[in-house]
């Protein structure tokens, strides 16, 4: 089976996520992939002609080199014309560009779940059929409907939380994931939906209350919030089958000194990112922020190092700051981390910087394993 993944806005992160999950084909747990498709072994017309009786909804996305709205539309209408001539009823989803947006695919039901609602992807002479589309509505709800949110601690998008968890690599069923900077609990939420057990700590008592509120809300609302996420944790007992206490533990604690309860099978977190910023910081301010963040992050990694087993994966997002030249300034911590007993998987760290255009504080993702 030949798969095709339509990558998100930050392709390097999407590719790294696919690699780290062993090319997982479960769209609902891939934060960085917009669509998944499989190659069809017939000509597109033959494939469509073999679909079960009834009206066909057809979308075409053209990812070929010189593709345009016109090339995609021509292909779709050509297929429709022949199918109609053979007595099939067909509705073509209008192309606004060469490729259908995720929203258009999703809202026209082209997510691979309906056998007669089909999105075909053309890449030069090859054709693929979409088998999964990222459920942007489910992500938005998981992000915006949570009862306790706090702009000051930053809003980790659920997609990025999934990416951080996936960067830990395949995990055993029932794995227990620690987030020692859990804030409002987005990493914990996404890990629970993937079927893992979670353990969250944070220095701020208010954040612990927020996380508790959010995870209780998730427990009661889960059926409406997410397509049941399967994939690598498919064998893990579903959260719905377990009591809440079994599945999550939360405590207040300073990550630089806390003694966590065992077991810890993986650590995925967005570390302390410093003060929220709406403009490029002055050199003095940046120096001060770098020192503060570095001391918390390094203090945490040192404290964690002798509490986890060899080979335990640790993914941490640390801050990087936008400078006047348009580049992001990162924390210079990789050598020190290695000396603390970790192997750094993405030493060059190229590409794994997550940010919106002109966002002042980016998230710089570091993937580690305990030596």
Ligand X SMILES: C[S@@+](CC[C@H](N)C(=O)[O-])C[C@H]1O[C@@H](n2cnc3c(N)ncnc32)[C@H](O)[C@@H]1O
Which residues would be at the binding site for ligand X (CB under 6 A)? Answer: 153-154, 156, 180-181, 183-187, 202-204, 207, 254-256, 270, 272-273, 296
Q: What is the DSSP letter of 93?
A: P
The rounded distance, in Å, linking the Cα atoms of 192 and 177 is 9
Token representation of residue 190 = 């996404």
Q: Of the two residues 36 and 322, which places its CB atom closer to ligand X in the complex?
A: 322
At closest approach, how far in Å is the CB of 215 from ligand X? 11
At closest approach, how far in Å is the CB of 270 from ligand X? 4
Query: What totals of helices (H) and strands (E) does the chain contain, helices first?
Result: 11, 15
Q: Of the two residues 106 and 160, which places its CB atom closer to ligand X in the complex?
A: 160
Token representation of residue 287 = 């120096």
At closest approach, how far in Å is the CB of 296 from ligand X? 5
Q: What is the DSSP letter of 337?
A: H
Cα-based angle 105, 108, 110 (whole degrees, multiple of 5): 55
- Which residue lies nearest ligand X, judged by its C-beta? 183
Residue found by looking up tokens 């998008």 in the block: 157
At closest approach, how far in Å is the CB of 114 from ligand X? 34
Q: Of the two residues 259 and 348, which places its CB atom closer to ligand X in the complex?
A: 259
Q: Of the two residues 83 and 208, which places its CB atom closer to ligand X in the complex?
A: 208
Contact 133, 124 (CB under 8 A): no
Token representation of residue 265 = 């099978």
At closest approach, how far in Å is the CB of 187 from ligand X? 6
Contacts of 30 (CB under 8 A, 6+ apart): 5, 14, 17, 18, 21, 24, 36, 134, 162, 166
Q: What is the 3-state secondary structure (H, E, C) of 117-161?
A: EEEEEEECCEEEEEEEECCHHHHHHHHHCCCCCCHHHCCCCHHHH
At closest approach, how far in Å is the CB of 182 from ligand X? 6
Q: Of the two residues 127 and 181, which places its CB atom closer to ligand X in the complex?
A: 181
Q: Of the two residues 133 and 229, which places its CB atom closer to ligand X in the complex?
A: 229
At closest approach, how far in Å is the CB of 209 from ligand X? 12
At closest approach, how far in Å is the CB of 319 from ligand X? 8
Q: Of the two residues 4 and 203, which places its CB atom closer to ligand X in the complex?
A: 203
Residue 216's Cβ-side half-sphere holds a number of Cα atoms within 13 Å equal to 9
**Which residue in 152, 163, 151, 145 sits closest to 213, CA to CA?**
145
Residue 331's Cβ-side half-sphere holds a number of Cα atoms within 13 Å equal to 30
At closest approach, how far in Å is the CB of 36 from ligand X? 26
CA distances from 362 to 301, 306, 310, 353, 359 (A): 20, 29, 30, 7, 6
Q: Of the two residues 151 and 284, which places its CB atom closer to ligand X in the complex?
A: 151
CA distances from 218 to 175, 214, 230, 370 (A): 19, 6, 17, 32
**Which residue in 53, 52, 71 sits closest to 61, CA to CA?**
71
Q: Of the two residues 38 and 340, which places its CB atom closer to ligand X in the complex?
A: 340
Q: Of the two residues 169 and 183, which places its CB atom closer to ligand X in the complex?
A: 183
At closest approach, how far in Å is the CB of 156 from ligand X? 4
Which 3 state secondary structure label does DSSP give 36? strand
């Amino acid at each position: 089976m030949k798969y095709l993944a339509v990558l998100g806005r930050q392709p390097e992160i999407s590719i790294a996520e696919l690699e780290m999950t062993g090319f997982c084909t479960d769209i609902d747990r891939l934060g960085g992939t917009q669509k998944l498709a499989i190659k069809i072994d017939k000509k597109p017309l033959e494939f469509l002609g073999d679909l079960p009786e009834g009206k066909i909804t057809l979308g075409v996305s053209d990812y070929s080199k010189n593709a345009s709205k016109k090339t995609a539309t021509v292909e779709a209408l050509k297929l429709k014309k022949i199918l109609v001539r053979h007595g099939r009823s067909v509705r073509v989803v209008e192309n606004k560009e060469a490729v259908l947006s995720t929203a258009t695919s999703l809202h026209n039901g082209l997510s691979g779940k309906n056998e007669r609602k089909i999105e075909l992807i053309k890449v030069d002479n090859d054709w693929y059929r979409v088998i999964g589309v990222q459920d942007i509505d489910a992500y938005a709800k998981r992000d915006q409907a949570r009862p306790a949110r706090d702009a000051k601690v930053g809003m980790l998008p659920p997609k990025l939380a999934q990416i951080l968890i996936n960067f830990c690599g395949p995990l055993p069923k029932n794995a227990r994931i620690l987030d020692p900077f859990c804030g409002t609990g987005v990493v914990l939420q996404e890990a629970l939906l993937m079927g893992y057990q979670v353990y969250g700590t944070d220095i701020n008592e208010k954040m612990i209350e927020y996380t508790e509120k959010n995870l209780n809300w998730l427990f009661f609302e889960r059926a409406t919030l997410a397509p049941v996420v399967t994939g690598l944790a498919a064998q893990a007992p579903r959260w719905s089958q377990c009591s809440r206490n079994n599945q999550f533990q939360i405590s207040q604690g300073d990550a630089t000194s806390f003694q966590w309860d065992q077991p810890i099978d993986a650590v995925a977190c967005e570390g302390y990112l410093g003060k929220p910023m709406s403009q490029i910081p002055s050199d003095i301010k940046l120096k001060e922020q770098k020192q503060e963040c570095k001391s918390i992050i390094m203090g945490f990694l040192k404290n964690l190092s002798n509490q986890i087993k060899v080979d335990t994966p640790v993914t941490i997002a640390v801050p990087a700051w936008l400078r006047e030249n348009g580049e992001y300034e990162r924390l210079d911590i990789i050598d020190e981390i290695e000396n603390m007993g970790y192997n750094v998987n993405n030493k060059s760290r190229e590409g794994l910087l997550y940010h919106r255009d002109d966002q002042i504080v980016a998230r710089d993702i570091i993937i580690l394993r305990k030596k």
